Amino acid sequence: MFRANRSLSSDAFEAYRLAPRQDAYTRIYPLPKRVYVHSAQAGARLGYKELKAQADYPVAAIVQNELSYVAEDGSLIHAAIGMDISFRVQDTPYANAGVFDGSQCMPTLSRMGNAWVLSGTGTSLLAIHGDAHTQVEVPGVEYDGEAMPWHVMHAQESYALLQRAVRHSPSTYFDVVCVSLSDDRAHILWHVTCDHPVTYALCNGPEALLAAETPVSLPTRDTPKPLPWYAWSQTPDDVSCSITLPLSVSKDDVRATFKPQGFSLSLCPPHARIYDHPPQSAEEHLLQGTMENCTLWASILADESTWSWETSPHNAKLVLHMTKAHSGTRWPSLLVNDDSVPETLDATDMAPMMDRLDPYTSSRLLQDGLEDEDFDMGTPWHLSYIDANGKVLHAQDQVSFLARSIPSSRDPAVLLKHDMDGHVFTPPSPISFSAWTHTETVPAISYVLASKRDAHPIYMYRGTSMTWIIAVETRTSTSQSLVGAVDVRSWTRAGCDGHTVTT
């Protein structure tokens, strides 16, 4: 899928002298309205995956020589870029409406045909055609947990790829749908999910290429893992097993016998009954003989073992009390052939265990500090192709992702890590599940980006004659975002602090 072209390899490391260009110039223009940015509390309200996803959502878009962005009051600002810059303010239904909260609801701006699409408010999209606008509802997609707003990742003509985060405790996953837009309704063509946010999205009609740190997959409803129907704990001298039963079960129904190597436990059924399904409750387990002739992990003293019966207003509890034949032996499981039920540990038992493990997990075991290779640049990248019917195909190549092209580039290329270099690959056109084309090698870029590992995010601009790598650095001391652009000959900086734009 990603085969390197050796004829494009280069050893020209001296290209990264980072010397300023003599013909570079800078102009600073004040913005009519501030760019909408995250609130100071965003990190407390969002998880790491959600913040990572929002960092990739576009808050600005470029069409030819016009830059558009979402202002902090919800309006659109259009900047015509030429020898000078002129600004135009466009009101939206979101202007001064407070629909964005700076964390969970953040604006995303995309271009679809001749319309602007504003997303990030919930289950709808705002399509803006000139001075007219249309609210487009996204149909409901089944999910487990708490769903965040939809965001447009890529749009083309009347098709769009949308993504949203879904909090399903204790983790977060992402829904990705392909929709066709018509009038005021979005029609879902297919739906996939991913454990991590998608870092590359490209659609051509109902077909799409998606890439993320983990492969995308068709949505499946995970069957909840049943809770253990019994609990057990131990001390150095004995083992206990407790089973919670309904009040309809009587103490007289219990049949329990102890043997040196195990025990037998069952309930006397009130009448003959045939079960045609697996046991679900503790009562069904005992009625079906799940604990008849059980073999324990170690031997016990049968004569000193017994059982007790306790009742409460809501249920009854059957407890087996078994004395270990070999005092001081710690059992890893209750039954010799079943380790699926973990031991119920008391907090007072956990503290000594952690103390005994401390010498083996101490940072003092590290003889040397972390090396540069510990900060290896690049993230795992799994590419998937989804056809018009929603069928998912996965590329088998193991690659590391460095950057993707910004929308105004000449092609939707990606920069993949190859040793110390970076290989620029372009997707097949029209998109399909076939090999990508290696068009350029950026020498030593992996090494350069590793030295700037705090820079995030990283983009690539593919011009007509050269490729630029753009690294965004956050300087919290001055609340500015500096953009460093690297080509094969120079290093220049441009910045935006929310009030001004620098070119």
From residue 308, alpha-carbon distances to 249, 322, 416 in Å are 14, 11, 65
Confidence (pLDDT) at 169 = 77
pLDDT in tens, 89-137: 998 888 877 778 777 788 888 888 888 888 888 888 888 888 888 888 8
Confidence (pLDDT) at 412 = 92
Task: Report which residue type is found at 106.
Answer: M
From residue 247, alpha-carbon distances to 313, 373, 461 in Å are 8, 62, 70
pLDDT in tens, 423-441: 999 999 889 999 999 999 8
Q: Is 266 domain-assigned? A: yes
Confidence (pLDDT) at 270 = 60
Is the per-residue pLDDT at 492 higher than 60? no
pLDDT above 70 covers a percentage of the chain that reads 79
pLDDT above 90 covers a percentage of the chain that reads 32
Is the per-residue pLDDT at 202 higher than 70? yes
Per-residue confidence band for 480, with pLDDT thresholds at 50, 70 and 90? very low
Q: Average pLDDT for residues 469-477, to the nearest whole number?
A: 60
Q: Is 56 domain-assigned? A: no
Q: Is 75 domain-assigned? A: no
**Which residue has tokens 């652009």?**
485
Confidence (pLDDT) at 456 = 63
Structural domains counted in the chain: 1
**CATH code of the domain containing 282:** 2.60.40.790
Confidence (pLDDT) at 161 = 94
Mean pLDDT estimate for the chain: 80
Among 76, 89, 80, smallest CA distance to 36 is for: 76
pLDDT in tens, 221-259: 655 566 788 999 999 999 999 999 888 888 988 999 999
Number of H-type helices and E-type strands within the chain: 5, 34
Name the more confident of 435 and 338.
Answer: 435
Neighbours of 397 (CB within 10 A): 14
Q: Is 301 domain-assigned? A: yes
Q: What are 204's strand-pairing partners? A: 207
Is the per-residue pLDDT at 363 higher than 60? no
**pTM of this prediction?**
0.66
Range of the structural domain that residue 283 is part of: 230-341
Name the more confident of 257 and 353.
Answer: 257
Confidence (pLDDT) at 495 = 38
Q: Is 426 domain-assigned? A: no
Confidence (pLDDT) at 414 = 94
Per-residue confidence band for 326, with pLDDT thresholds at 50, 70 and 90? very high
Confidence (pLDDT) at 213 = 92
pLDDT in tens, 31-71: 899 888 877 666 667 788 888 888 888 778 888 888 899 88
Buried b (16+ CB within 10 A) or exposed e, 332-365: eebbeeeeebebeeeeeeeeeeeeeeeeeeeeee
Three-class SS of residue 73? coil
Is the per-residue pLDDT at 284 higher than 80? yes
Q: Is 126 domain-assigned? A: no
Sequence-ordered list of residues with C-beta below 8 angstroms from that of 44, at least 6 positions apart, any chain? none
Is the per-residue pLDDT at 489 higher than 90? no
Q: Average pLDDT for residues 267-289, to the nearest whole number?
A: 68
Per-residue confidence band for 370, with pLDDT thresholds at 50, 70 and 90? very low
Confidence (pLDDT) at 446 = 82
Q: Is 280 domain-assigned? A: yes
**Which residue has tokens 């500015």?**
480
Q: Is 191 domain-assigned? A: no
Confidence (pLDDT) at 476 = 38
pLDDT in tens, 155-195: 888 899 999 999 887 788 999 999 998 767 789 999 999 99
Q: Is the dihedral of CA 203, 206, 209, 212 positive or negative?
A: positive
Among 150, 168, 148, smallest CA distance to 160 is for: 150
